[in-house]
Every structure is written in C-alpha cells, then in structure tokens.
Amino acid sequence: MPDITDMTTQVRTTDDPLPSIGPARVVDETVAALRQAILSGDLRPGQKLSVPALALRMGISRSPVREAVLALTAEGLAVESPRRGVVVTELGLKETQAIHEARGPLEGFAARLAAERGPADLGRRLDGILAEQAEAVATGDEDGYFRTNAAFHRAIAAACDNAEVHRLLVSLEGRMALALRQVAARPGHRESGLEEHRKVVAAIKARDGSGAETAMRAHLAATRQRVVIAPGSEDQMIVGSSSAK
Amino acid sequence: MPDITDMTTQVRTTDDPLPSIGPARVVDETVAALRQAILSGDLRPGQKLSVPALALRMGISRSPVREAVLALTAEGLAVESPRRGVVVTELGLKETQAIHEARGPLEGFAARLAAERGPADLGRRLDGILAEQAEAVATGDEDGYFRTNAAFHRAIAAACDNAEVHRLLVSLEGRMALALRQVAARPGHRESGLEEHRKVVAAIKARDGSGAETAMRAHLAATRQRVVIAPGSEDQMIVGSSSAK
DNA sequence: AGATTACATTTTACATGTAGAATTGCAAGC
DNA sequence: GCTTGCAATTCTACATGTAAAATGTAATCT
C-alpha cells in the first residue's frame, strides 16, 4: 500500500496547481483492480458486475465501487443497461474487426506524427521496447509480449504530440486488449507482430512519416487478418444473440 | 465467490433484451442538463462543478450529480483533479488544433466507409440535412448551423458501419462542439463549411470512397485553418497557465 | 407437465451522514 | 502593502440507509 508521503508544505515559487502526489483513493485502486480482473479474464465477458457483491468482496463500501464500475463503462470495458446493471463487455468477431479497422487510420496517423515530430530519443526508446519484446517472443512469454506490445503502441501514441489522438488511443486501449485476447494463441502471431513493429520503428527512425503510417496500418491490417482465422476461439466468442438489428 | 454465470437459459420468443422504455433516471437528465449548460456556455470553461452546489440548485441529492459530473469527465467536457474537484474543460488554441487534426484521419475514414458501404438512402438524408443547413446559412442562423453541422457529421459517423469508429467520433463530439464555439463568429465560415459539406456529399453519392475521404479531410483542415485566425477569441482563450510541459 | 402467479431476495438508484482534505476569509505580522 | 497564520467553511471521498424495480424461486392453477 502507498504510504501517505509528507505533504511538502514547500512554498513553491510557481503557482502550479499542485504536484498532485499519490492517488490513495479507493476508487482508483478499485478501477485498477477491476480493469485488471477484466483484462486477465478473471471477470469474463458477459458477467454481471454487481455493486453490492463487489463491495462486499473488496471490503469497501458501495460508493467507490459504483464509481469504478461506471468508469469501466466509460472505458468501454463494461456496458450498462439502465435499471439492469452493468456487465463486462462482450466483443464478438464483428466488433473485434471494427476495433482493428478503427485503429488503422488513427494509429497510422499517430505513427506518422511520431515520425515527423516525435522526440529525438523516440527511436531509442522503441528499440528498447522491441528488445524486450524480442526476448519475450524468444522465450514464448505470452504475457511479456502483451505488455511490450501495449508499451510499443502506447509510446507511439504518446509521442505523436497530439493530445487528442493520444486520448482517443488511450480510450481504445482497454477494448484493444480485450480484443487481443482472442488472437493471442495463434501460432506465429508474436513473431509476425514483432517483425511488423520493427518496420514501423525503422520508418520512425528515418523520420519517414508516410512510411511509418503505411507500416503501422499494414501491421494493424495483418493483426486483423490474424483475428479472422484465429483458431480455438469459438468458445471464447460470444453467442452473438441479438446482435444484428 | 459469486456464481454469477450464464443467464442465457431464457427462452424468450424475441431474444431482445428488452424494449427498455423511458430513461426516467435522474442521472440521465442531469447529464443532459449539464452537457447543455456547458455547450451553451452557461457553465464556462474553467468553472468549478461543485457537487453539493449543483445538487442544491437542481433540487436533487448529491449522488446523481456526482455520477453525472463523472460522466461529463469521461466525455471530455470536464476534467477531474483528485481531491480537488472537477472543472469544465478549457480548450486552448493548441488543443483545439489537436482536436481538428485528430478528426481528420478518423472522420475521413468514416466518410470513406460511408461512401463505400453506407446505406442506400444516405445521400438523400445528407441532402436533407444540407438543405436545412443552407436555410440556416441564408438566414444567418448561427445555432441552426451548429445543429445541422453536428447532424451532418453524426450521420456520416453512424453510416460508416463500424461501431468503433462511431464510438470514437461520438466521444469526440462534445469536445468538438466546445472547440467550434471559438470559430463560430468568423465571417464566411458558415458559407465555406456548407460548400465543403456539399463536396463530401457529392463524393458519397458517387460511392467514391477516396473522394469522400479527401473531401472530408479537406473540410476539416479548412476548419482548422479558420480556427487559427479566428478573431475576437482572445478573451475566450484560456490563460494557458502551466500548459507547456 | 407446463405455464402462471405470488412471494422472497437482490439490486439499482437516489438520499443522506461524516471525517478529513482543500479552499476561503480574515486578521495579525513583516 | 503584501504576505503569513489560523479559523471557519466548503467540498471531496467514502459509508450507509432505503424505496422501487428487477430477478429468482416456489407454489398454484389449468
């Protein structure tokens, strides 16, 4: 648990609102815990998020749980039906495809911007991430691949120097991660993914905006293709009831 | 350990979850009221959203207000600082630019998809919207222009047959509207906007995906340009304190 | 048996209570 | 005059109460 550090009563010459130290809020920890539970599959798609039940299990009151559940809903990791409650988001094949399709132009654009106006050390940082990823791929560390993959895309999103693009990509992260769980097992996908990541980095290092955009879109399109034929995911797929309007 | 599991054992001739009638929830009405207040300028950027104060003023308890304020925060219309409270989002010039820049690839893509696989009656509907917009432009109806502009972009976002792109654009709507308030007064902007809208519709009707994307991106780029030299907006601009990192 | 209805339980949605942090107002000091 | 210190106040964050709605379950009727 985080220790409530000293409230530095320093005088602060700048009128900066505040350094704003540690969260220490129960809500934040609850959001983190629930997000983790959803992304790890601990809470399965379609499962109900009962506020009283969760509060009881976590030993806290209903208020922060309610707020956390709503936050997850805003993140797209859960869906609310008024008077019905909230359930973990179920992503069908169509939705998973849509997510990857949406990522294309957005993240392609981010890659372009990162290449054109990203910080000088971006290439080096991406290299570091990919080195870690290569390690994960070599040892078959599925979880490590996930983490480095997220770090890779996050680094580019953060480096594009456009807060709005960054915002949008962050708001996609959760659903992307949820969608990715369905292709994780595909043999060779990690190797291919790493290879595609390398092409993106090469273009970024060369400050080639168009090339970076193209490489990123190719990577996402390929990922989407790998989703289509993902094997053994029938049981993970939702039943798709009442989908088509 | 909650055994909350499958609830699909229901037979229900119609597998529709529920017609789900009227909202009637105080939260929803509060969200709508606050959103309206923010977008209409009733609540100004930077203004604090005090939960007790709002609850008192609206004659309801703090719970729904708290939830509503958090919902607005998730929408990007307000920002929260832990233990500090929530204030209405302030959009500086840089952020406004970033929003328009981000819209480019996303909405351009949506226009492409709408042209390629949108419903048959889309062209007709867009014509209807633009007819209304032409009326608004002719009569100098600022508010009417706003409404039809939103309707135009919303129609394309909805027609692209990609729920995720739609989601992202919806999540941008509020901030877009906030940003647009800063260029509204620019002379000629409505006429130009309408003209650009027409080009997008022409491409969509011709089922020309590339053309639609190009036209939409051109429209958004032009809008962004109009923001840059927007006159008389200095007093609307934020003070920009502690912005640059 | 199968469908239906009545009852028990759970849960949502809103209301209210409260400790402690943050902000504000104001007066004393440099 | 402008800061500085402190009290008073306000607000956030979490906890808890509760009516009405939704859900689950058992009893009842056809």
SS3 for A188? coil
List of residues 6+ apart from A74 with CB closer than 8 A: B70, B71, B74
The secondary structure element, H or E, covering residue A87 is strand A85-88
What pLDDT does residue B24 have? 85
A-chain residues within 8 Å CB-CB of B70?
A: 67, 70-71, 74
Nearest CA to CA, how far is A49 from chain B (Å)? Answer: 9
Distance (Å, whole) CA B236 – CA B181: 9
Residue B7 approaches strand D within 7 Å at CB: yes
Residue B84: per-residue pLDDT: 95
The DSSP letter of residue B180 is H
Q: Whole-number mean pLDDT of chain A? A: 85
Mean per-residue pLDDT over chain B, rounded: 85
Among the partner residues A70, A109, A165, nearest to B67 by beta-carbon distance: A70
pLDDT for the residue numbered B184: 56
CB contact under 8 A, B20 and A82: yes
Q: Which nucleotide's C1' is closest to A11 (Cα)?
A: D4
Please report the pLDDT score of residue B62 as a whole number. 98
Q: For residues A136 and A145, is the Cβ–Cβ distance under 8 A?
A: yes
In the structure, how far is the CA atom of residue A85 from the C1' atom of nucleotide C3, in angstroms? 28
- Of A47, A92, A116, A68, give the one whose Cα is nearest residue A244: A92
CA A21 to chain centre: 24
Can you give the distance from the CA of residue B64 to the C1' of nucleotide D21 in angstroms? 17
Walk along chain B (245 residues) and give the pLDDT tens digit of each residue. 333 233 333 333 333 444 555 568 999 999 999 999 999 999 999 999 999 999 999 999 999 999 999 999 999 999 999 999 999 999 988 898 899 999 999 999 999 999 999 999 999 999 999 999 999 999 999 889 989 999 999 999 999 999 999 999 999 999 988 987 766 567 788 999 999 999 999 999 999 999 999 999 999 999 888 876 554 444 444 333 333 33
Q: Residue B136 has what pLDDT?
A: 95
Angle at the Cα of B176 (from B174 to B178), degrees rounded to 5?
70
Is residue A8 classed as helix, strand or coil in its secondary structure?
A: coil
Query: Which residues of chain A are within 8 Å of residue B81 when distances are taken between CB atoms?
Result: 17-18, 20
Q: Is the pTM for the entire model greater than 0.95?
A: no
> Which segments of chain A have a pLDDT < 50?
1-19, 231-245
CA of A172: how far to CAs of A100, A154, B76, B116, in Å? 10, 11, 15, 24
Q: Two tokens at A229? A: 């034929």
What distances in angstroms separate CA B115 from CA B28, B70, B124, B172, B214, one per listed residue?
34, 36, 13, 21, 12
Task: Identify nearest nucleotide to residue B52 by CA to C1′ distance.
Answer: D11
- Cβ–Cβ < 8 Å for B105, A108: yes
pLDDT value at position A148? 96
Chain A: nearest CA to B102, how far in angstroms? 5
Distance from CA of A136 to the nearest CA of B (A): 30
Binary contact (A241, B102; C-beta < 8 A): no
State the Cα torsion A172-A174-A177-A181 to the nearest 10°. Answer: -130
- B-chain CB neighbours of A37 within 8 Å are none
Contact B2 A84 (CB under 8 A): no
Nucleotide nearest to B9 (CA to C1'): D24
Residue B162's pLDDT is 95
**Residue environment code for A20-40, b if the CB has 16+ CB neighbours within 10 A, otherwise e:** eeeeeebbbbbbeebbebbbe
